[in-house]
Structure 1
Amino acid sequence: MNEKEVAEIRRRFRLEKSNITHVRVCYVNENREIISQFNQSLAMTEQEETEQILACLKRVLSGTLGKNLMDVTFTTQQVVDSEEHRLLMALKNSALNDEEAVQAFYQKVIQSLTIDGHYMILLAFDTYDVPYRTKDGETQEEAASEVYSYLVCSVCPVKMTKPALSYFARDNLLHNRSVDWILSPPEVGFLFPAFDDRAANLYNALYYSRNLAENHEELAEAVFHCDLPMPAAEQRETFDTVLGETLEEDCSLDVVQSVQERLQEMIQEHKERKEAEPLTLSVRTVKNVLEGCGVPENRLEAFEEKYGEAFGADTELSPRNLVDRKLQVKTPDVVIQVNPERSDLVQTRIINGAKYILIRAEGGVEVNGVDIHIKEEQ
């Protein structure tokens, strides 16, 4: 799915848009025991509460493609005949009314997912009359091109609030508010089937993970029997390691700055072109960037080999996973944060045999909030 397709489905989770009639909920404790199950009708739920439930479901379609949102692809054999795909289809085709399928799904989640504390599994089903869209991008609401039926799953931690002093209007007094259990934003979830080319794609699902460092691969394995991409945080850490280990003494401050700047430029250019498809980088593209930074050919070959070992030779990465909004220069005793747009202020030098990081001071200098003056050497 691309950004426009994700956004189109996100807009479904409004009272005036959604065809979701009920939500299946399973409440699980820290011992993987089901505390309760219920099937909540949204027609019988207060409007404010319904909006909150829809917002909770919509959160599994939030974040960035390639980071929080990942494509899951089934093989042809899985779609033709596999337990995991049959279960998902049974949930979808029955509009979550197949009790045996619902219970089997709950058990798959409970037996695989590792989340501390209590959590709730929310399941919802929706049908969307996809409006016809002309070649110039105009949408004709009255002309539906097809009906897209899908299910969405949201797994939300349940947290206990802390006791606190609160005002009670009824008594016009301050009282202690007792602890209670509240639903937190989803930790993980998915949409099935994917909405590709504005139509159902039974070969794909869209997987959501709130934490960039932990995508709960154990859940994806249990539900989809598919491998997930490496978590975004791990991608960046691995990329940095590959870069440092293969370039060795050629891995200078200038090279790292140039790579980061070029990746930022590519992201901005892609944004300005307003392309729907996510921007990805192949190892060949990264090699071209390094070559433009003056990295020798032998280092480029070493980088390509190490990249293949770490990610897979044909794996394409999102540049958003490889860049940081801040530039950090770090030694064992000093950490310096630099505005990425002013990386030109930082240089490395060797003076009298000692290594130095030089920072050109412009616009004043503060130490612990105190303005200091830098005097010329006498």
Structure 2
Amino acid sequence: MNEKEISEIRRRFRADKSNITHVRGCYVNEKQEIVSQFDQPLSLLPQEECENMLSVLRRTLSGTLGKNLIEMPFTTAQVVDSDEHRLLMALRDSKLTDEEAVRMFFEKVIASYRPEGTYLILLANDTYDVPYRAKDGETLEDASENIYNYVLCTVCPVKQTKPVLGYDVPENTFHNRDIDWIVSAPQLGFLFPSFTDRSADIYSAMYYCRSASESYDEFIDAVFNREAPMPAEEQKTTFGTILGDALNDACSLDVVQTVHSRLCGMIEEHKASKDPEPLTITGRTMKTMLTACGVPGEKAEKFEEACAEQFGADAALSPRNLVETKKFEIKTPEVQIRVDPEYSEWIETRYIDGAPYILIPAGAGVQVNGVPIAITRPDVEYEEEE
């Protein structure tokens, strides 16, 4: 799925757009016990509650593609004959009316997801009459291409509110409000099947994870029977480690600045082009970039080999997961400096009297702990004003 396809399905989760007739739910306590299950018809809910329910579901399709939204492909063998794929198809094809399939799915999630507190599992089914889209991008609502039948799963923490003072309008006084339990934003979930080329792709699911640093390996193994992808934050750390280890003494400030600048430039160009397909690079792409930066060929080759070992041969990586586009950071054991990437080229390294230094030009407006300071030349004496 690309960004346009994700947005198209996200727009379905409105009361006037959706064909979701009911939502299946399972509330689980801290002991991994089912407290209650429900099958909630949306038509019986007040409009505001219906919109809130759809809003929670919609957030499972939010975030950045490749970071929060990750494609989970199935092998041909899985699609032909596997318990995990058969269960997902049963949920979809029955429109969540297959009680045995729903029960088995809830049990799978509970056995593989163990947060500290209570949580809610939601399942929704929607049937989308996909409108025809002409070559010029114009959508013809009356001309349908196909029917997209899908299931969305959302797993949300349920948290207890803290006692607070609340205003009682009729009495014109303040009182403690009762402690309540509220549904928080989705922690993880998925869409099955994927909406690829604006049609159902039973060979893929779109997995959602709110945190770019978390990896719910057991959940992914139980639902999709495949190895969990490396979280985005871990990808960034791994990429930096590989770069430093492979290049060794060739990993200079200039090289890191250039790599950061070029990756950020690729991200900006992709954004400006409005290309819905995700931007990706490979270890081979990075090898070419490093060679252009003047890195010796054998070290660039070593980097490519390390990428293949850590991420997989010819793995497609998102540059957004490898660099911070809004900051450029320098750390020593004692000092940490953050610079706007636009001005990262101002930073340089130099040896002075045999010691390495990091130098940053300082003009007007320098502050220390919020206090404006003056930087005087050592050969200019300070004169007291009369």
Q: TM-score range by the shorter chain?
A: over 0.9
Q: In terms of mean alpha carbon deviation, does 43-52 or 223-232 score higher?
A: 223-232
Q: Deviation per CA, 1:281-338: give whole Å up to 9, x if none.
A: 0111111111111111111111112111111122110001011021111111111110
Give the distance between the partners of 2:229 and 2:165, measured in 1 at CA.
46
Q: Secondary structure at the match of 2:44?
A: coil
Counterpart position of 1:337: 338
Letter in 2 for 1:38: F
Give the distance between the partners of 2:249 and 2:296, measured in 1 at CA.
11
Counterpart position of 2:180: 180
TM-score using structure 1 length: 0.99
Q: Secondary structure at the match of 1:43?
A: helix
Counterpart position of 1:198: 198
Counterpart position of 1:327: 328
Q: Is the 8 A contact 1:69 1:207 kept in 2?
A: yes
Q: Is the 8 A contact 1:161 1:179 kept in 2?
A: yes
Q: Deviation per CA, 1:121-151: give whole Å up to 9, x if none.
A: 0000000000011111111000111110001
Q: Is the 8 A contact 1:108 1:222 kept in 2?
A: yes
**In the TM superposition, what is the alpha-carbon distance from 1:346 to its structure 2 partner?**
1.1
After superposing on structure 2, the runs of 4+ consecutive aligned residues of structure 1 that deviate more than 3 Å are none
Letter in 2 for 1:184: S
Q: Secondary structure at the match of 2:120?
A: strand
**In the TM superposition, what is the alpha-carbon distance from 1:228 to its structure 2 partner?**
3.1
Letter in 2 for 1:40: Q
Matched, 1:287 2:314: no
Give the distance between the partners of 1:260 and 1:158, measured in 2 at CA.
40
Q: Is the 8 A contact 2:15 2:51 kept in 1?
A: yes
Counterpart position of 1:73: 73
Q: Deviation per CA, 1:162-216: give whole Å up to 9, x if none.
A: 1111111132111011221110000000000000000000000000000000131
Q: Secondary structure at the match of 2:45?
A: coil
Counterpart position of 2:376: 375
Counterpart position of 1:39: 39
Counterpart position of 1:238: 238
Counterpart position of 1:306: 306
Give the distance between the partners of 2:363 and 2:59, measured in 1 at CA.
43
Q: Is the 8 A contact 2:18 2:126 kept in 1?
A: yes
Q: Is the 8 A contact 1:6 1:61 kept in 2?
A: yes
Give the distance between the partners of 1:167 and 1:9, measured in 2 at CA.
40
Q: Deviation per CA, 1:326-356: give whole Å up to 9, x if none.
A: 1111111111110010012211111111111
**In the TM superposition, what is the alpha-carbon distance from 1:242 to its structure 2 partner?**
0.1
Counterpart position of 1:14: 14
Counterpart position of 2:349: 348
Letter in 2 for 1:204: S
Counterpart position of 2:296: 296
**In the TM superposition, what is the alpha-carbon distance from 1:239 to its structure 2 partner?**
0.3
**In the TM superposition, what is the alpha-carbon distance from 1:39 to its structure 2 partner?**
0.8
Q: Secondary structure at the match of 2:338?
A: strand
Q: Deviation per CA, 1:4-41: give whole Å up to 9, x if none.
A: 00000000001110000111010001111001111111
Equivalence map 1:55-74=2 (5 Å): 55-74=55-74
Identity rate of aligned residues, in percent? 59
Give the distance between the partners of 1:143 and 1:362, measured in 2 at CA.
63
Give the distance between the partners of 2:92 and 2:340, measured in 1 at CA.
48
| Number of residue pairs aligned between Structure 1 and Structure 2 | 378
Q: Is the 8 A contact 2:286 2:304 kept in 1?
A: no
Letter in 1 for 2:90: A
Q: Secondary structure at the match of 1:208?
A: strand
Q: Is the 8 A contact 2:68 2:208 kept in 1?
A: yes
Q: Is the 8 A contact 2:152 2:190 kept in 1?
A: yes
Give the distance between the partners of 2:171 and 2:107, measured in 1 at CA.
46
Q: In terms of mean alpha carbon deviation, does 252-261 or 346-355 score higher?
A: 346-355
Q: Is the 8 A contact 1:72 1:228 kept in 2?
A: no
Counterpart position of 2:113: 113
Q: Secondary structure at the match of 2:155?
A: strand
Q: Is the 8 A contact 1:66 1:318 kept in 2?
A: yes
Counterpart position of 2:383: none
Counterpart position of 2:146: 146
Q: Secondary structure at the match of 1:247?
A: helix
Counterpart position of 1:134: 134
Give the distance between the partners of 1:313 and 1:110, measured in 2 at CA.
34
Matched, 1:96 2:93: no
Q: Deviation per CA, 1:71-93: give whole Å up to 9, x if none.
A: 00111111111111111111101
Give the distance between the partners of 1:134 and 1:229, measured in 2 at CA.
36
Q: Could you tell me which runs of 5 or more consecutive residues in structure 2 were left unpaired when the two chains were aligned.
A: 380-386
Give the distance between the partners of 2:321 and 2:193, measured in 1 at CA.
25
Q: Secondary structure at the match of 1:147?
A: strand
Counterpart position of 2:384: none
Q: Could you tell me which runs of 5 or more consecutive residues in structure 1 were left unpaired when the two chains were aligned.
A: none
**In the TM superposition, what is the alpha-carbon distance from 1:56 to its structure 2 partner?**
0.4
Counterpart position of 1:85: 85
Q: Secondary structure at the match of 1:178?
A: coil
